[in-house]
């Protein structure tokens, strides 16, 4: 993860910095899926049926590395892993909520 000081050196545009963390086809959807509750891998996969398990795994790892989600593994049989938003990830909730509102309005226009 890049520190905030280093981020200002790399990114001159705050939108570019944001999109670097949450951009792409799946990351915003994954964040939206777990924004209000802790979810297990299977729950996330079932809520996003068009994502492959490999892509979901890769995207979850990237979101964890970027400090947006927390992965908690329980030493049980069978193994259980849960994903939740970190404080940084939770700070994106208003953005995701506004995207949801905008999407609803957009779909009504069609």
pTM of the model: 0.84
Mean pLDDT over the full length of the chain: 90
Give the number of residues written for the chain. Answer: 110
> In the predicted model, is pLDDT for residue 110 greater than 80?
no
Of all helices (H) and strands (E), which one includes residue 64?
helix 53-65
User: What residues contact residue 22 under an 8 Å CB cut-off, 6+ apart?
Assistant: 28, 31, 68, 92
The pLDDT confidence band at residue 13, using thresholds 50, 70 and 90, is: confident
- Whether the CB-CB separation of 57 and 65 falls below 8 Å is answered with no
> In the predicted model, is pLDDT for residue 90 greater than 60?
yes
Could you please state the CATH topology (level 3) that the domain comprising 25-109 is classified under.
Answer: Arc Repressor Mutant, subunit A (1.10.10)
Tokens at residue 99, please? 């995207």
């Amino acid at each position: 993860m890049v520190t905030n000081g280093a981020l200002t050196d790399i990114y001159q545009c705050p939108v570019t910095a944001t999109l670097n963390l949450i951009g792409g086809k799946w990351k915003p959807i994954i964040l939206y899926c777990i924004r209000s509750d802790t979810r297990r891998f299977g729950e996330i996969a079932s809520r996003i049926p068009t994502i492959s398990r490999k892509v979901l795994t890769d995207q979850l790892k990237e979101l964890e590395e970027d400090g947006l989600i927390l992965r908690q593994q329980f030493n049980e049989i069978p193994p259980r892993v849960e994903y939740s938003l970190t404080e940084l990830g939770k700070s994106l909730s208003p953005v995701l909520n506004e995207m949801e509102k905008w999407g609803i309005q957009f779909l009504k226009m069609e």
